[in-house]
Structure 1
Amino acid sequence: MLTDPRIGKGRDTMLGVSASDAELGLRQRLLRSATEWVVTHMLGSDPPEHTRLRKAVADYFSPRAVTEMTPRIDMLTKGFVDAMPSDTPVDLVMELACPLPVAVICEITGISQRNRPRIEKSSAVLSDVTVADSRQLRSASIDFVRLIAPYFVARRLRPREDLITSLTQQMASGELNLKEALSTVALLLIAGHETTANLIASTMLALLRNPDELERVRSDPDRISGVIDETLRTEPPLPVATLRQAHSELDLAGERIGKGELLMVSLLAANHDPESVSDADVFDPARQARHLSFGTGIHHCLGARLARIEATTAITILLERYPGIRLAACPETLRWRRSIFFRHLDSLPVYLTH
């Protein structure tokens, strides 16, 4: 389903809207008008638009770019870990899992980290448009545009070595329009921190719930890669892929799908497919099982490599500094954000001990 050319994307699929303009209900029309400036991006388009929009930012997430960014990620992580109080329980979501990826994506785009609270607040709404009400969406969309737009004006006057400068130059050459540029930055701000924050928090929770594996990772930090992959398989940051739409009538596994119908793909179910993984509910970092948590095909996660580096760095430094880290709450009492698309811990309280 993720690679079938008969199934694709569109701006409205991001909103859960499948009807034509004439058939749209009030809520759908409000959704469209409220989010137009933040959903006209690569994730809501098919080729050739998708190819053009992805290419516009791809260099900033290339293997070379991520390698060059790694020392800065290391420095940022140490700063957040150093700032944690060690005499009281610490919320890892608030103190590390969320702020680190926001700081990284701000550096890539060129947006000031002072805007982190605004980014986190608005993206919490815009990341799950199908469960937010129209007023929230309108407010969050307007706030994002007000946050991002001045940077394009500033970079036109004073270019810098950042992604917004590159997008500004591409607008000037006619390769992008303003709506596409704003939407692209909004997408990167949302996807660039929500999914990575979820991955960091879920991986730490998996280790804290598996003390034997935590001890093995302490002894051999190279095992972290396998732990991250197994976390991606069992607790993907996005349990379902963003919505798709059938571009024509088709049969899928015996089901008749009508043209224009929306399709939701469960990545979590794919990761637990018994034909691919035995004992799928068992957390086993040594299995090296294939997973689809970064998607596949043309919409494979652009920031997958960056997310792995951020998660690896965060967990490595945290365990080096506090090898005795332990949960400060029962796993069963932890709360998860109400969401269709994201697996997001509200908090992860821990004791930081040496």
Structure 2
Amino acid sequence: MGSPTRNGVAVQRNASGADPLASPEYFRDPYPLLAAVRSGGPVQRIRTGNGRTTWLVTGWAEARAALADARLSKDTARYFADRPSNRNLAPAVSRTLLATDPPDHGRLRKLAMTAFTPAAVARLEPRIRVLAGELADALAERAEADLVEGFAVPLPIAVISELLGIPEPDRAAVRRWSDELFAAAAPDTVDRASHALSGYLTRLIADRRAAPGDDVLSGLIAARDDGDRLSEPELVSLAALLVVAGHETTANLIGNGMVTLLRDDALRARLRADLALLPAAVEEFLRHDGPLTVATFRYATEPLVLGGATIAAGDVVQVAPGAANRDPARFDAPDSVRLGRAGGHLSFGHGPHHCLGAALARVEARIAFEVLLTRWTDIRPAGHGPDAVEWRRTRLMRGPARLPVTFVP
């Protein structure tokens, strides 16, 4: 890579000037590439696919600071207000809770968070265990199966769909639209998926308003805070965020964790022998190979200095939790899996935008690994093994597209 500089900071790019986060190497294994970028400094400027540039934050301390810095705005509507764009994302997808700043962000989050308190999540645990058991029973009928298609995706899809009251026949379409939103696909494909999901959720909300049920969506429709309630666009956007984030993160956490376990016979046996280690294992899986490689973008509302980089007002900044979680300045032997590390991973973010569903994701993952490790005598990679995993082609999220396994009865 060449390294022309701006304000004394290296501008990382490959020989062709192409987007390094869209390379085959990145989709296969982003960590060597992210480590190479971090070796030039914790905050580096890189090329993006649209010919523009973005600041990529790869150091742990700098990433944690950026995630809580009010000068780095998430208000994408304000950012694009005076910038021409040929994109046609549905507002419900482009203007979610993730894309708002205080005070609106705090108001929306307070109205939504009652469904995801630790007590609310604890009440869901028995149902999650039933759903995981049913999926495992279906897998038990086969000698070989794809864990992604047969377990890692359907479990969180079923959980979030039941929470929101999405009928079972509609869940395949909802999953497809969600996949297309994150895939490294043509922009018009992403835009169409955003409108399809938005239209579906608008109709579902109308149905729930006419006939409320015992689900989170009905609760959000009725939610009030000092006389305030969610507007119709806010309801649709929050539902879209819960649908997409509510299963994407967990599905990839389960998939990535199982890749790690299939590569490590001793760790698999250790966890099977002592299930009390599973919470620690979930935290280490989140750190070592978490579901979120690069967070959605922020932009500077005023000039600032971060990690030695002078960032101008209006510059786009992207935090890379996947890189920060393997920063050797924070974690010893960061590429190794070690249970019982001190906390501090950034897979669920930090600050005001800390993941609303983090507690739910942790519970789902813990139950998923427990079921998968104890339902059979052992579970082993099929085909070419876990080192030949086909990974999803997405810049932000990381997870296997397929994970063939065999079961030892």
- Normalising by structure 1, we get a TM-score of 0.91
- Quickly say closer, same or farther: Cα 1:86–1:159, change in 2 above 3 A: closer
Higher normalized helix content (fraction of residues): 1
- Quickly say closer, same or farther: Cα 1:253–1:287, change in 2 above 3 A: closer
Q: What is the correspondence of 1:55-204 to structure 2 with a 5 Å cutoff?
A: 55-127=110-182, 131-170=184-223, 175-204=229-258
**2:392, 2:398 within 8 Å by CA — same for their partners in 1?**
yes
Q: Secondary structure in 1 aligned to 2:295?
A: coil
Residues 200-253 of structure 1: CA distance to partner in whole angstroms, max 9, x if unpaired? 111111111111111111111111122211111110100122211111111112
Q: What is the correspondence of 1:1-354 to structure 2 with a 5 Å cutoff?
A: 1-12=66-77, 18-21=79-82, 23-24=83-84, 28=85, 30-31=86-87, 33-127=88-182, 131-170=184-223, 175-329=229-383, 330-354=385-409
Greater alpha carbon shift after TM alignment, 193-202 vs 161-170: 161-170
- Quickly say closer, same or farther: Cα 1:63–1:295, change in 2 above 3 A: same
- Supply the distance in 1 between the matched residues of 2:406 and 2:141 (Cα, whole angstroms): 7
Residue 34 of structure 1 deviates from its aligned partner by: 2.6
Residues 3-37 of structure 1: CA distance to partner in whole angstroms, max 9, x if unpaired? 11111211348xxxx4543x41xxx2x32x33212
2:76 maps to amino acid: R
1:181 maps to amino acid: L
Residues 30-69 of structure 1: CA distance to partner in whole angstroms, max 9, x if unpaired? 32x3321222221100111101111121011001110101
Root-mean-square deviation over aligned CA pairs: 1.9
- Supply the distance in 1 between the matched residues of 2:347 and 2:327 (Cα, whole angstroms): 13
Higher normalized strand content (fraction of residues): 2
Q: Secondary structure in 2 aligned to 1:245?
A: strand
**2:77, 2:95 within 8 Å by CA — same for their partners in 1?**
no
**1:93, 1:348 within 8 Å by CA — same for their partners in 2?**
yes
Q: Secondary structure in 1 aligned to 2:400?
A: coil
2:314 maps to amino acid: G
Quote the residue 2:16 is aligned against: none
**2:324, 2:346 within 8 Å by CA — same for their partners in 1?**
yes
Residue 278 of structure 1 deviates from its aligned partner by: 1.0
**1:86, 1:351 within 8 Å by CA — same for their partners in 2?**
no
Residues 278-327 of structure 1: CA distance to partner in whole angstroms, max 9, x if unpaired? 11111112334431111100111111111011011111112211131111
**1:200, 1:311 within 8 Å by CA — same for their partners in 2?**
yes
Residue 88 of structure 1 deviates from its aligned partner by: 3.0
Identity among equivalent pairs (%):
37
**2:156, 2:246 within 8 Å by CA — same for their partners in 1?**
yes
**2:268, 2:373 within 8 Å by CA — same for their partners in 1?**
no
**1:229, 1:288 within 8 Å by CA — same for their partners in 2?**
no
Residue 85 of structure 1 deviates from its aligned partner by: 4.6
**1:6, 1:247 within 8 Å by CA — same for their partners in 2?**
yes
Q: Which runs of 5+ in 2 are unaligned?
A: 1-65
Residues 101-151 of structure 1: CA distance to partner in whole angstroms, max 9, x if unpaired? 0110011111112222111110012235xx443321232122212321222
1:338 maps to amino acid: R
1:244 maps to amino acid: R
- Supply the distance in 2 between the matched residues of 1:264 and 1:187 (Cα, whole angstroms): 19
- Quickly say closer, same or farther: Cα 1:39–1:163, change in 2 above 3 A: farther
